[in-house]
Structure 1
Amino acid sequence: MRELALWLAMSKRQREVAMRRMDALAGWKPEEGSGEPAAAAAAAGLKKNHSYEMAKAWRAAPSLASVEVLTAAPRARVSDYDHAVGAHVTTAFDEVSANGGIVISEVVERLAVLAAADLGQIPSFATLRRKVLEEQRRRERRTRPGVHLNFDCCAFTMANLDRPERTAFAIVDRRTQLVLGAALGDARRAGHGYGLAAGDALRRIGTGSLKEVAWAERLEQTELVTGLDDGLLKIGVEAAWAELPVVQPAGKPGRYLRRAAGDRMGRMLFLSADRLAKSTGGDAQEAEDAVDDAARLQVEVEIHNAAILPDLEGDPASGPSAGLIAALEFFARRPHHRPSEQPEPA
Structure 2
Amino acid sequence: MAKERKDKGLAAHLGDPVPEREAIMWAELSVAQRAKAMQRMTALQRWIDSDGAIDAKQAAADAGVSVTRMYEMAKAWREKRSLASLGTFAGAPKTRVGKHDAALRRALPSVVAADPKSSVRKLALDLEGACGIPAGDMPSHNTLRRYVEEELRRLDQKTMAGDDVMLDCAACTLTPTDTVLLTLFAILDRWTQVVLGAGFGDPADSRGGYALAARDALRRLDAGQLSDLPWVERMSRAEIVVGLDEDRWGDVRKRFADDGIAAPVEPSTREKRFGRYLRSVTGLRIGSVVILPRHTEASLAGDLVRTVSPTSDQVARLRVEVDRHNSGRTGAFSDPVRSTPPADLHRMLALLARG
Q: Same fold by TM (over 0.5)?
A: yes
Q: How do residues 257-336 of structure 1 correspond to structure 2 at under 5 angstroms?
A: 257-276=278-297, 281=307, 286=309, 290-315=311-336, 317-334=338-355
- Structure 1 SS opposite 2:331: helix
Q: 1:6 aligned to 2:32?
A: no
In the other structure, the counterpart of 2:86 is 67
- AA at the equivalent of 1:26: Q
Match in the other structure for 2:12:
none
Confirm or deny: 8 A CA contact 1:147 1:220 kept in the other structure.
Answer: yes
Q: Aligned equivalents of 1:154 and 1:140: distance in 2?
A: 23
Mean CA deviation greater in 184-193 or 68-77? 68-77
2:236–2:264 Cα contact (<8 Å) kept: yes
Deviation string 1:150-200 (CA, Å, 9 cap, x unpaired) is: 101111112499971211111000111100011111111110111111121
Instruction: Give 2:13's aligned residue.
Output: none
Provide the residue aligned with 1:249 in structure 2: 267
TM-score, structure 2 length as denominator?
0.80
For 2:233, which of 205, 217, 227 is the aligned residue? 217
**1:259/1:248 CA distance change after superposition, 3 Å:** same
- 1:248-269 CA-to-partner distances (Å, cap 9, x unmatched) read 1124111211221222111101
2:134 is the counterpart of 1:112: no
AA aligned opposite 2:204: R
Q: Secondary structure at the match of 1:273?
A: helix
Distance 1:276 1:70 in 2: 35
Deviation per CA, 1:283-319: give whole Å up to 9, x if none. Answer: xxx46xx211111111110000001112224246310
Greater CA deviation, 28-37 or 251-260? Answer: 28-37
Q: Structure 1 residues 248-257 or 57-66, which shifts more?
A: 57-66
Unmatched runs of 5 consecutive residues or more in structure 1 = 335-346
Q: State the alpha-carbon separation in 2 of the partners of residues 38 and 103 from structure 1.
A: 62
Residue equivalent to 1:158? 174
Partner of 1:41: 60
Which position in structure 2 is the counterpart of 1:234?
251
Give, in angstroms, the shift of residue 215 of structure 1.
0.4
Consecutive aligned runs of 4 or more in structure 1 exceeding 6 Å deviation:
160-163, 277-280
Asked if the contact 2:176/2:290 (under 8 Å) is kept, the reply is no
2:144 — aligned with what? 128
TM-score with structure 1 length normalisation? 0.82
Out of 74, 86, 105, which is 2:105 matched to?
A: 86
* Partner Cα separation in structure 2 for residue 113 and residue 161 of structure 1: 33
1:60-110 per-residue CA deviation (whole Å, 9 max, x = no partner) reads 76532343594899431224411101111110121114xxx3533332232
CA contact 1:9–1:70 (8 Å) conserved in 2:
no
The 5 A counterparts of 1:182-221 are 182-221=198-237
Quick check: 2:173–2:290 contact (8 Å CA) kept in 1?
A: yes
Secondary structure at 1:94's aligned position in 2? Answer: helix
CA contact (8 A) 1:190 1:226 kept: yes
Verify the 8 A CA contact 1:11 1:160 in the aligned structure 2.
no
Instruction: State the match for 1:95 in structure 2.
Output: 114
Q: Provide the alpha-carbon RMSD of the alignment.
A: 3.0
Query: Is 2:48 the partner of 1:24?
Result: no
- Structure 1 CA distance for aligned equivalents of residues 289 and 84 of structure 2: 21
Go from structure 1 to structure 2 and tell me whether the alpha carbon gap of 1:274 and 1:72 turns closer, same or farther (over 3 Å shift).
Answer: farther
The one-letter code sitting in structure 1 at the alignment partner of 2:317 is R
Distance verdict in 2 for CA 1:168–1:194, change over 3 Å: same
Measured in 1, the distance between the counterparts of 2:82 and 2:119 equals 48
Consecutive unaligned residues of structure 2, counting only runs of 5 or more, are 1-19
1:160–1:19 CA distance, 2 compared to 1 (3 A): farther
Identity %: 37
Q: Which moved more, 1:139-148 or 1:4-13?
A: 4-13
**Secondary structure, aligned partner of 1:105:** helix
